[in-house]
Structure 1
Amino acid sequence: MIKKIARKIFPNFYTKLGEVKRSIVARKLKKEHPNTKIFHDNHIKLYSQHNQDYIVYNNFFKNKKGVFCDVGGNHPLNINNTLYFEEIGWEGLAFEPLPSMKPLWEKHRKAKFFSFGVSDKEKEVAFSVVKDVTGWENMLSFVKSTGKQNLDLETQDIIIQVKPLKDIFEREGITHIDYMSIDIEGHELNALKGIDFNKVRINVLTIEVSTFANSIQEIEEIRQLMRENDYILWGIIVGLDDIYVHKNFLN
């Protein structure tokens, strides 16, 4: 509580402190991953909260059209990783299980929308939605089994349907995706296990691997799975995402 009050009284100080911390972490990551690009600029340039769209577009898809897949799209307009790509003419798919998001996606976006979650197999799971002062909509949400329900958060639990992406891709006839964003608060590993990488070629992925959402072991399992499927850890957004690029796309 004291820290929350201090943040309100001294916002500039805490902003600067955050920048210093990210810079320190960035230097540490560079030593651990010398061949990986490290990003820690937190100033929003397009629509993504941490410049995922800006980084991916400028490094891989400048002046190009493509196909995106937004896994855990949440709000279609606010801090969204794929909105910019749609605005410049890309086609895409989006997955978001929050019931309140479905009409917003259908109203504001052209992407084909699926109102369920993704995992390694088809099933029903308990899903927690975090409440803040703005209400339940457009908030952090997560599969309950990730353990974040033990944090000091006020949540509402709902039951959602989840399906493996390999089934959806096969049904929709999808064999190629240029950019995939996966941000499902701790369920990323299961979502990746539900992809048959032998049947769909994904060129670039941003995958949330923050320690708030994932354990250190889960992050390493994600990285191992991606290596096994011929992906290179091209970049790291400090404290948030890994950026993977298929080795053949780089060549």
Structure 2
Amino acid sequence: MTFISYAQNFEDVRLWRALKQFEHGFYIDVGANDPNHDSVTKAFYDHGWHGINVEPMQDYYDALCQQRPRDTTVQCIASDQPGAVTFYGIPDTGLSTADPVVAQQRKDLGMTVQSFTVEARTLTSLCEQHAPDRPIHFLKIDVEGHEETVLRGMDFNRFRPWIILIETPWLRDHTWEHLVTDAGYQSILFDGLNTWFLANEHLNLKPAFDIPPCNLDNFQLCRGHALAHPLTTPSPDESDTAKQLAEALHRAEQAESQLHALQNSRTVRAAQKLRNVLRRA
């Protein structure tokens, strides 16, 4: 089956190459944002996986709850200690942040920044509550300058994601990388947007990251992906037609995803096996 990629920079293609042999895997998405657009986890959810989404913005939180019923979606930010904190939301973007310096920089650029109070929780507490005894196949962190505080709230001795990917400045002038490497992870890749780490006990997965995504991965970009947009500006009539077509195709893709998830469920497969047995009897 062709893999449909939703992620901004082919992150889901790289992850799928490394982890596709695992059914019903588990992820943690810190800064989950939209459940579809630029989502690293959407394709995995469609293939029967589930996980924890950490998302403070109300509209994205509501959409995740509605469209990801198997997931646990928590309306908070991840931090190094619990409590109430100020969060700086930039509507309809993935640029919201808990870092006041980053928020001011974006306000200076003319962006609309709205401050409000949200709950902060540590990743350790989220894992204790929602993933106490299961493998975490990957942890994705996209928090716009708040990375170090998120990492300081994770007990990597108790909870060890196999793969960690963290959105990283292009200059790679961050100071937090030692928090990951000192916890028993190796930095294996910078893809231009994210730094990737493998747990020492899962370095056997490293060959999956040796070459960039390519035609051998048998993937397609989802409809509406930024890299699949036409270069010309359509006329108003063409825009309306394209919008209607896109909406219809989106509904079809959603139905196909739901069917695929149903077909992947243990219950359905068990019933199919039983029917096969009865036919042979």
Using the size of structure 2 for normalisation, the TM-score is 0.65
Instruction: Give 1:164's aligned residue.
Output: 122
2:86 corresponds to which of 117, 121, 126: 126
2:147 maps to 188
- Residue type at the aligned position of 1:222: W
Instruction: List alignment gaps of at least 5 residues for structure 2.
Output: 205-281
* 2:195 matches 1:242: yes
Query: Which residue does 1:223 correspond to in 2?
Result: 177
**Paired residue for 2:6?**
47
Q: What letter is aligned with 1:129?
A: G
Aligned AA for 2:21?
N
| 1:202 has 2:161 as partner | yes
Q: Matched residues in 2 for 1:50 and 1:200: separation?
A: 26
In the alignment, structure 1 residue 148 sits paired with structure 2 residue 103: yes
| CA shift for structure 1 position 237 | 1.1
Q: 1:139, CA displacement in angstroms?
A: 4.2
Which secondary structure state, in structure 1, belongs to the residue aligned with residue 119 of structure 2? strand
Describe the SS at the equivalent of 2:14.
helix
Q: Deviations over 1:14-49 (max 9, x none)?
A: xxxxxxxxxxxxxxxxxxxxxxxxxxxxxxx71110
Whole-angstrom CA distance in 1 between matches of 2:113 and 2:78: 21
Q: CA deviation at 1:56?
A: 1.5
Shift in Å, 1:147: 3.1
Is the CA contact (8 Å cut-off) linking 1:47 and 1:83 kept in structure 2? Answer: yes
Residue 173 of structure 1 deviates from its aligned partner by: 4.5
Query: Is the 2:163–2:197 contact (alpha carbons within 8 Å) kept by the matching residues of 1?
Result: yes
In 2, distance between residues paired with 1:84 and 1:173?
21
* Superposed counterparts of 1:18-97, under 5 Å: 46-58=5-17, 60-65=18-23, 66-97=25-56
Question: Residues 230, 139 of structure 1: CA spacing in aligned structure 2 closer, same or farther, 3 A cutoff?
Answer: closer
TM-superposed CA distance for 1:55, in Å, is 1.1
Question: Aligned partner of 2:88: which letter?
Answer: S
Q: Could you tell me the percent identity over the aligned residues?
A: 25
Q: Which one has the largest radius of gyration? A: 2
Choose 203-212 or 142-151, whichever is displaced more. 142-151
What are the Cα deviations for residues 166-203 of structure 1, in whole angstroms up to 9, with x where unaligned? 11212234243001110011111111110001111210
Which aligned segments of 4 or more residues in structure 1 are displaced greater than 4 angstroms? none
- Deviations along 1:117-172, whole A, 9 cap, x unmatched? 10111122221122xxxxx2344211142433133122111111111111121223
Q: Distance in 1 between matches of 2:99 and 2:184?
A: 31
**C-alpha contact 1:101 1:138 (8 A) present in aligned 2:** no
Q: Using the TM superposition, give the Cα deviation of residue 223 of structure 1 relative to its aligned residue in structure 2, in angstroms.
A: 1.6
Equivalent residue of 1:69, what SS?
strand
- Aligned match of 1:25: none
Amino acid at match of 2:113: T
Query: As a proportion of its length, which structure holds more strand?
Result: 1
Residue range with higher mean Cα deviation, 92-101 or 142-151: 142-151
Partners of 2:76 and 2:120 within 8 A in 1: yes
Q: Take 1:172 and 1:111, find their aligned partners in 2: how far apart are those partners?
A: 10
Can you give the 5+ residue segments of structure 1 that lack an aligned partner in the other structure? 1-44, 131-135
SS in 2 for 1:70: strand
What is the Cα deviation at residue 84 of structure 1?
0.8
Q: How many residues align?
A: 195
Give, in whole Å, the separation in 2 of the partners of 1:140 and 1:112. 22
